Amino acid sequence: MKAPSGLLPGTKNVPFADALAAHGDRTAVITADGRVSYRELAVRVDATARRLGPERRLVLLVAANTVDALVVHLAALAGGHPVLLVPGDHPEAVRSLTDAYDPDVVARPDGDGWVLDERRDISAHTLHPDLALLLSTSGSTGSPKLVRLSHQNVQANAESIAEYLDIRDTDRAATTLPMHYCYGLSVLHSHLLRGAAVILTGLSVTDACFWELFCDARGTTFAGVPYTFELLDRVGFDAMELPHLRYVTQAGGRLAPARVARYAALGRAAGWDLFVMYGQTEATARMAYLPPEFAHTRPEAAGIAVPGGSFRLQPLPDWPGESTGELVYTGPNVMLGYAEGPEDLALGRTVDELHTGDIARLAPDGLYELVGRRSRFAKILGLRIDPQQVEAMLEKHGVTACCTGDDDELVVAVLGDPEAADPNGVRRLVTAECGLPPRAVRVRVLAELPRLATGKADYRAIRELAGPAPAPPAAPAEATASEPAAAALCRLYARILDRDAVTEDSSFVGLGGDSLSYVEMSLHLEEVLGELPDHWHTLPIRELREPSGRPADKRRGSRRRTLETSVALRAVAIVLIVGSHIHLFWVKGGAHVLLGVAGYNFARFHLGCADRRERLRNIGRSVARIAVPSMAWLALMLLVTDDYDLTGVLLLTSLLGPNDGFWFIEVLLYMLVAVAALLAVPWVDRAERRFPFALPAALAVLGLIGRYDLFGLEARVHVPLVVTVFWLFALGWTAARASTVGQRLLVNAAVLATVPGFFPGELAREVVVVVGLTLLIWVRTVPSVAWVNRVAGVLAGSSLYIYVTHWQVFPRLEGMPTLVATLASLLVGIAYAALATRVMRWRPSLPGSRGTAARARVSARRGD
């Protein structure tokens, strides 16, 4: 590559970064704040390149999906300056790599601006003429080991991707991945090469604002790692209207074949293509892709080599067969080599072909399939994990273990007494070391570790022996104010959700949170963070951290407050129920609104991307949290009063007849058990994921059979009340899955058509139900103030327990003012809620057990 004018002789650069102006006034960048043309972008890049000067210097760029960061990156590539990209959301990685490589220039954000910290005019390093880019391998953002990429690597990789994706100048790609990650960076490079536009944003696909920006910008494509597709399932992507979407790409780890096939089918129906890709940072980004026509029929395949590249299979003694061996890649995008310190920046090419470490098979149809790993590295949820380093870390903590992994999880076999060892303490250590979520780490305690005849660990046997991880113990106490914000939030989640090993990648839904814990969690988070973002329950904790800057109390004081509609409805409904029973006023219908809210929350909290068994476990936990405290209270009342019998204590009156005052609790439990049984059927579970709106809509239609008693059963036999009111639960579920205006209108029309006439002669009651459900469908939050949020949160979070206890409170206060009886009923229910919650979270320890001692040792090491 010849040096363009303005560069010193012998200086090379990346051609597409120096040719931005050739695309004229076409849109280059779209942000929430406006648009930047290629001509405008070229002017800014040229100005920054002049600022960097003609002498090559090492530029460390604190990367972010912003125009400022993109300008600095392109200026470095155009000016021939090697650029080291580091993640802007990991200050420790920035410090570590700055110390390790002593860059000449540090480009970083500073408040609302951007600064170039020019530490010296002439580089302190010897920089090889071919060196253009330095990237960390995925999952090693703070490691000094970097991949050295040349100008040719960057240009060739962008050209190859643009060719097989057929990127056009009319395409508009959203940045769903960070710039410092080679996959996210390749999206920017390949589209800028072709004169296409990039929709530059740091928003998550779970954020409604992301999709508003994507649609407003007429987005045609976005990229995703496996976890992205889990998030897409949560937000109802398959029901979205994206008329300009042309293709979706996936890389960053193996996506389950079933999910590949499902998204391929979804794309075919909606008119877009799915490109499944395979790559490594050492190949700049991409090595193979699966042509979209094979995504449905061959979803397990990695595909074919990208244009300009080629594969060969190197035979391995442990993998016999001519068509199987280690996958070796050759192409112009293969890295120069690794750097482990600044002295390596002077090196030229030390690698000619890339030994991927993956075992592959060439199928008869010409597609490559990955069947194993030669090295013990595992890429789990997009993070590269070295099991040997995990073993070494555990050894330092006095734990003898063998680790192995695949694309989905890390398996840790621990040597010890299965009855006394603490697998959850081991899991905490591993998740803290690797950054993996707890669900991706399985720990199995074995009396003897499997060995080969040579004495080496038998990792295949360990993988086969690994069973389900044991249930986590009680969560540690809440963090103190002196802890980092992220750590405090992790401990808060652990305490409220009674889950262990919570990490920054955990989310409320992913940890099995439900409607009972949702209110308590939202109140605590609001105290810490102020206004919560939409869909906070689906966001990882790292996206909820309190931003730095002004003191937290001032930040919270400056934020406007809102109250989530479902929480407000629960609070108002329970007050209406209790007040009406005590005759403080007469406004009925609150319990039936709560049935719709229950269905709404069921969809939000129990129908995430977890597998079928995990979904059922979470529903089971919710059933227990409703049934156990209710039955405990009724059992106590059975002992001290004559008001109940054993049928009532067992919550069977609605089923056996006649219905009594606890019908709501019984009906809610029956509904949860029924839908759990339905979702336990594999094809129903798949149908719910494929048709998240249509399935509950169909259940609502079936529920109308009971609503209207179409078969006349009520006249002949006792019909459980759950059959009569299930349609309200199903309508709430459907409302939660309605992602378009048309779908919301359809649900609202169903409410308006079916509620009238359900309570003959009680128009006011029907109005309450219609208004409540309509608010649930259309209004996400209502304006509020802090004290109202606190009161509503306590009432909503305690609503179940208030309902259970109030029947025994107000009759004892006969003769007292009805307002006093109402307040007393609410307060007793709130107190019982606090007691029940504390008891449900408490687990006894066995004094003197070795497991307890082990937990204490782990806690001491971590400062818990």
Same domain, 290 and 353: yes
Structure tokens that stand for 748 in this block = 């609202």
Q: Which range, of 69-73, 230-234, 246-250, 568-572, averages the lowest pLDDT?
A: 230-234
* 92 occurs within a structural domain: yes
pLDDT in tens, 530-555: 667 766 777 778 777 544 333 334 34
Are 355 and 387 members of one domain? Answer: no
- Higher pLDDT: 544 or 261? It is 261
Listed residues 536, 559, 582: the one ending a domain? 559
Can you read off the two tokens belonging to residue 561?
Answer: 């407050």
pLDDT band at 369 (very low <50, low <70, confident <90, very high): very high
The answer as to whether 607 is a domain residue is: yes
Q: Are residues 344 and 393 in the same domain?
A: no
Q: What is the pLDDT of residue 3?
A: 42
44: left (phi over 0), alpha (psi -120 to 50) or beta: alpha
Confidence of residue 171 (pLDDT cuts 50, 70, 90): very high
Write phi, then psi, for 378 (nearest 5 degrees).
-130, 140
Least confident segment among 127-131, 167-171, 407-411? 407-411
Q: What is the DSSP letter of 292?
A: G
Please tell me whether residues 586 and 552 are part of one structural domain.
no
Same domain for 428 and 360 = no
Percent of the chain clearing pLDDT 90 (strictly above): 52
Q: Residue 720: which pLDDT band, with cuts at 50, 70 and 90?
A: confident
- Sign, CA dihedral 726-729-732-737, equals negative
**Is the domain of 136 the same as that of 202?**
yes
**Total domains, the chain:** 4
Average pLDDT over residues 641-656: 83
- The mean predicted confidence, pLDDT, of the chain is 84
Last residue of a domain, one of 559, 574, 599: 559
Let me know if residue 862 belongs to a domain. Answer: no
State the pLDDT at residue 739.
81
Q: Residue 185 domain-assigned?
A: yes
Tell me the mean pLDDT in the region 380-409: 80
pLDDT at 139 over 70: no
The pLDDT value given to residue 434: 77
**Distance between CA atoms of residues 801 and 798, nearest Å:** 5
Q: Which neighbouring-strand residues pair with 29?
A: 36, 198
Same domain, 212 and 307: yes
Given a contact cutoff of 8 angstroms between Cβ atoms, the answer to whether 185 and 179 are in contact is yes
Report if residue 1 sits inside a domain.
no
CA separation for the pair 194, 190 (Å, rounded): 7
Residues 390, 278 share a domain: no
In a domain, 311, yes or no: yes
| CATH number of domain containing 519 | 1.10.1200.10
Average pLDDT (810-820) is 89
For residue 476, pLDDT over 60 is answered with no
Lowest-pLDDT choice from 80-84, 92-96, 114-118, 479-483: 479-483
Q: Tokens standing for 679?
A: 């979702």
Are 684 and 541 part of one and the same domain? no
Residue 362 inside a domain? The answer is yes
- Tens-digit pLDDT profile for residues 827-852: 999 999 889 887 876 543 332 333 33
Find the CATH number of the domain harbouring 447: 3.30.300.30
pLDDT for res 451: 66
Same domain, 296 and 236: yes
276-335 residue pLDDT tens: 999 999 999 999 999 999 999 999 999 999 999 999 999 887 666 668 899 999 999 999
Chain segment 669-680, per-residue pLDDT in tens: 999 999 999 999
Q: For 415-444, how does the pLDDT look when each residue is reduced to its tens digit (9 = 90+)?
A: 888 777 778 888 888 887 777 777 788 888
Binning the chain into helix, strand and coil, the percentages to the nearest 5 are 50, 15, 35
Q: How confident is the model at residue 588 (pLDDT cuts 50, 70, 90)?
A: very high
- Which has more confidence, 783 or 504? 783
> Domain check: are 425 and 496 in the same one?
no
Region 148-152 average pLDDT: 97
Confidence class for position 35, pLDDT limits 50, 70, 90? very high
Residue that finishes a domain, picked among 337, 372, 407: 372
Predicted pLDDT of residue 534: 63
Confidence of residue 861 (pLDDT cuts 50, 70, 90): very low
Does residue 291 sit in the same domain as residue 249?
yes
Measured from the Cβ of residue 239, the count of other Cβ atoms closer than 10 Å reads 15
- Split at pLDDT 50, 70, 90, the class of 478 is very low
Tell me the two tokens of residue 326. 């280690």
- Digit-coded pLDDT (tens) for 57-104: 999 999 999 999 999 999 999 999 999 999 887 888 889 899 999 999
Per the structure, the complete domain to which residue 320 belongs is given by 15-372
Q: Per mean pLDDT, which of 165-179, 311-325, 371-385, 463-477 is the most reliable?
A: 165-179
**CATH number, domain containing residue 278:** 3.40.50.12780
pLDDT at 432: 78
Arithmetic mean of pLDDT, 133-153: 82
Residue 7 lies in a domain: no
- What's residue 361's pLDDT? 92
* The pLDDT value given to residue 474: 35
Instruction: Tell which phi-psi region holds residue 501, choosing left (phi > 0), alpha (psi between -120 and 50) or beta.
Output: left
Q: How high is the pLDDT of residue 557?
A: 42
| 760 alpha-carbon distance from chain centroid | 46
Listed residue (346, 73, 190, 236) closest to 688, CA to CA: 236
Contact 117, 105 (CB under 8 A): yes
Pick 661 or 551 by higher pLDDT: 661
Instruction: Give the chain's radius of gyration (CA, Å).
Output: 30
Residue 231 has pLDDT above 50, yes or no: yes
